[in-house]
Amino acid sequence: MLNLAVLISGRGSNLQALQKNIESGILQGKAQIAVVLANKATAAGLTFAREHGLQTMVCPAEKDVLAGLAKQQIDLICLAGYMRLLSADFVNQYKGKLINIHPTLLPKYPGLHVHEKVLAAGEKESGCTVHYVDTGADTGQIIAQRKVPVLPDDTPETLAARVLEQEHVLYSQVILQIANAVSVL
């Protein structure tokens, strides 16, 4: 059973998808969310976490995150819409146990405002990526991706929604893959 820490900054739809798959989907018996950490108390995902009986912590600074994580036995840290950059020290401390989900087909379009950039570039497809976190911005080793078409009448919002649906599938698939790999070690 993988013990997860999920780090969020906002609405937490990826957190919700993970928890749904833990309660009644592909992650049942494979993973559990030990703690949800948010950098601000207003992160909407915290409400969902509390309603689902998950332990939550508000950690405005990285030292608070480190202190929060140190209290738990955590196997994997999942960044899910976490909008803070983590220091090299943090990343190195949790190397190989720290993953992120990003709403493009990395290495294309790291950073912010990605759907606007995908549309402006006239891409025919986009998607999402789960990757290990290294000291760069969205540059770590890619674990898996799912693709979606870009449609002629797409807006950043419609494209974001299509990608998000696949994020909700992909993140759990990757965590299952890691859980299965760990259980045979």
Catalytic residue list: 102
Residue among 164, 182, 180, 179 nearest 80 (CA): 164
Give the interface with ligand GRF as residue ranges (CB under 6 A).
8, 10-14, 80-81, 101-103, 164, 167
- Minimum CB distance to ligand GRF smaller for 107 or for 183: 107
Phi, psi of 33 (to 5 degrees): -90, 110
Residues, the chain, total?
185
- Binding-site members for (6R)-10-formyltetrahydrofolate are 83-86, 100
Q: How far is the CB of 158 from ligand GRF (least distance, A)?
A: 14
Q: How far is the CB of 183 from ligand GRF (least distance, A)?
A: 26
Shortest distance (Å) from residue 128 CB to ligand GRF: 6
| DSSP E strands, the chain | 2-8, 31-38, 56-58, 76-79, 98-102, 125-132, 142-149
Q: Which residue is nearest to ligand GRF (CB)?
A: 81
Residues annotated within a binding site: 12-14, 83-86, 100
How far is Cα 47 from Cα 16, in angstroms, rounded to an integer?
11
